[in-house]
């Protein structure tokens, strides 16, 4: 499948994932809120990269750059989540 129909299907998927993001923001998922949001965001990013940036039809260096970008994103997410997970409850100064 290719052409405008494919782009419309990807757009519908992106809109559905956006609706899922909004729904997830209203749910009390506790410590899983951030990982769920990150997973949905990463899925949307992959769809945009593959179809709208035409990465699925590319070869070689472009794939290497994309994989390197996702590797770096993974490092940033792991560091962010480890920071959030190791925070203690801090008292409010002056109270």
Question: Looking at the predicted structure, is the pLDDT value of residue 90 above 80?
Answer: no
> Across residues 61-83, what is the average pLDDT?
88
Number of domains in the chain: 1
Residues in the chain: 95
Scan for tokens 């809109």, then name that residue: 15
Segment 39-65 shows an average pLDDT of: 87
Quick one: pLDDT band at residue 77, thresholds 50, 70, 90? confident
CA distance 25 to 22: 5
Range of the domain at 27: 4-85
Least confident of 1-5, 37-41, 76-80: 1-5
pLDDT for 80 beyond 80: yes
pTM (two decimals)? 0.68
Residue 71 lies in a domain: yes
Q: Is residue 21 part of a domain?
A: yes
- Tens of pLDDT along 17-47? 999 999 999 999 888 888 899 899 989 998 9
Cα dihedral across residues 77, 79, 80, 84: positive or negative: positive
HSE-up of 7 (CA within 13 Å, CB side)? 5
Q: What's the mean pLDDT when you consider all of the chain?
A: 87
Residue 91 lies in a domain: no
């Amino acid at each position: 499948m290719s052409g405008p129909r494919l782009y419309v299907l990807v757009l519908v998927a992106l809109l559905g994932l956006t609706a899922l993001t909004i729904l997830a923001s209203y749910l009390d998922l506790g410590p899983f809120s951030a990982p769920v949001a990150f997973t949905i965001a990463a899925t949307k990013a992959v769809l945009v990269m593959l179809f709208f940036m035409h990465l699925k039809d590319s070869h070689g260096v472009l794939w290497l750059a994309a994989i390197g970008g996702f590797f770096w994103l993974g490092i940033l997410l792991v560091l962010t989540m480890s920071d959030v997970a190791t925070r203690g409850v801090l008292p409010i100064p002056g109270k």
